[in-house]
Chains A and B, each alone.
Chain A
């Protein structure tokens, strides 16, 4: 039996800040902003939709560069 083991280099990047999770959060923020922009129920939600969408989009651009 072979005893050769491939040495995996441990990343020092925190697990909570990995790309997959952060991209999911950013996507959820964009989706919420998008729904706020088009919903017919409350003007206040419409007012804050752009900020929400912009935050989500900027976050998505940044976190898509994070390691997997």
Chain B
């Protein structure tokens, strides 16, 4: 059936075109197949990047497309790098990135280590732990909003049960001190399974004979952990830290859904500030400059991590 269809297609192809197709080299065929992807990447990644770089030097406003665009030189960059509010947004981002990565790495690695013990039902528990990661951030944001509700939220009642504080006083999202932690808890809950999965891959890649040799040498469990498990799983842990670091650095959806940057500007991370400047104040040129600053920061960070990763792999 399939052969007959192929024969029909071959017969229906005009002779000049068929000759052309038969004449394509392997390299040409490879280029033919990857060119749509390359074109797509150029259109949706590379071109917007260069366009943003261009806009960052102008006073362009997306809500006034017909207004004359004036070249401002480095004025946007100077304004951003002297702006106290953006400096505070950077500190909020750093606080968020630091604590989420620390918690996710510690809890994720511990979970992976426990799952790697291969106890009864470990496959079931692995699936259960992975569930939060599979949910959409929009869904997670919305249902954690309900969980944090002081009147009806389950989280408030659990905290009330443990501490004795009335549930109406547990105001995670509207309390200035608690709101950043509310976001850190949700992000940790959602993305720890991801870190666990990468760490588990690392732990499973350690050959069994190394542990057997350590057993022969009468190495304690503690010694085996510090001398075998941790060093051999380190490249994987670093990879997880890199991925989560870059993702959390540009975290937007969760913060926007849970607090919207509030109360006040206590949870206004860099991406929220960027969105406010770009789509509320319509300062497109200014926000493009801000986006470029964030891009350089992430790019620099990625360079450091890739270098560190190569070093660890060479050991």
Chain A residues within 8 Å of B, Cβ to Cβ: 23, 26-27, 30-31, 33-34, 37-38, 40, 43, 46-50, 53-54, 56-57, 60
The reply on B93 being an interface residue by CB < 8 A is yes
Contact of A37 among B84, B90, B299 (CB under 8 A): B90
Also in contact, A54 and B87, with CB within 8 A (given A27-B307, A47-B82, A60-B303) = no
Q: Verify A34–B82 contact, CB threshold 8 A.
A: no
- Taking A49-B81, A50-B296, A57-B299 as known contacts, 20 extra A-B pairs with beta carbons closer than 8 A to each other, sorted by chain A number, are A27-B304, A27-B307, A30-B301, A30-B303, A33-B297, A34-B300, A37-B90, A38-B91, A38-B94, A43-B84, A43-B87, A46-B81, A46-B87, A46-B90, A47-B81, A50-B77, A53-B296, A53-B297, A57-B300, A60-B303
Chain B residues within 8 Å of A, Cβ to Cβ: 77, 81-82, 84, 87, 90-91, 93-94, 293, 296-297, 299-301, 303-304, 307
CA distance A27 to B302 in the complex (A): 10
CA distance A53 to B82 in the complex (A): 16
B310 closest partner in A (C-beta): A23
Looking at chain A's contact residues, the main secondary structure is helix
CA distance A47 to B300 in the complex (A): 17
Looking at chain B's contact residues, the main secondary structure is helix
CA distance A26 to B94 in the complex (A): 22
Which residues does chain A contribute within 8 Å of B77, judged by CB atoms?
50
Also in contact, A23 and B81, with CB within 8 A (given A37-B297, A38-B94, A57-B296) = no
Also in contact, A38 and B304, with CB within 8 A (given A47-B81, A50-B293, A57-B299) = no
Also in contact, A31 and B87, with CB within 8 A (given A38-B93, A46-B81) = no
A14 to chain B, nearest CB (A): 22
Which residues does chain B contribute within 8 Å of A56, judged by CB atoms?
300
Q: Which residue, of B77, B84, B91, B303, has the highest number of chain A Cβ atoms within 10 A?
A: B303
Residue contacts A-B, CB under 8 angstroms, 23 given: A23-B307, A26-B303, A27-B304, A30-B300, A30-B301, A30-B304, A31-B304, A34-B297, A34-B300, A34-B301, A38-B90, A38-B91, A38-B94, A43-B82, A46-B90, A47-B81, A50-B77, A53-B300, A57-B296, A57-B299, A57-B303, A60-B300, A60-B303
Which residues does chain A contribute within 8 Å of B90, judged by CB atoms?
37-38, 46
B97 closest partner in A (C-beta): A38
B79 to chain A, nearest CB (A): 11
A53 to chain B, nearest CB (A): 5
Which residues does chain A contribute within 8 Å of B296, judged by CB atoms?
50, 53-54, 57
Which residues does chain A contribute within 8 Å of B293, judged by CB atoms?
50
Which residues does chain A contribute within 8 Å of B303, judged by CB atoms?
26-27, 30, 57, 60
Which residues does chain B contribute within 8 Å of A54, judged by CB atoms?
296
Which residues does chain B contribute within 8 Å of A27, judged by CB atoms?
303-304, 307
A34 to chain B, nearest CB (A): 6
A51 closest partner in B (C-beta): B81
B308 closest partner in A (C-beta): A27
Which residues does chain A contribute within 8 Å of B87, judged by CB atoms?
43, 46
CA distance A33 to B307 in the complex (A): 17
CA distance A42 to B84 in the complex (A): 10
Q: Which residue, of A38, A54, A60, has the highest number of chain B Cβ atoms within 10 A?
A: A38
Which residues does chain B contribute within 8 Å of A30, judged by CB atoms?
300-301, 303-304
Which residues does chain B contribute within 8 Å of A40, judged by CB atoms?
91
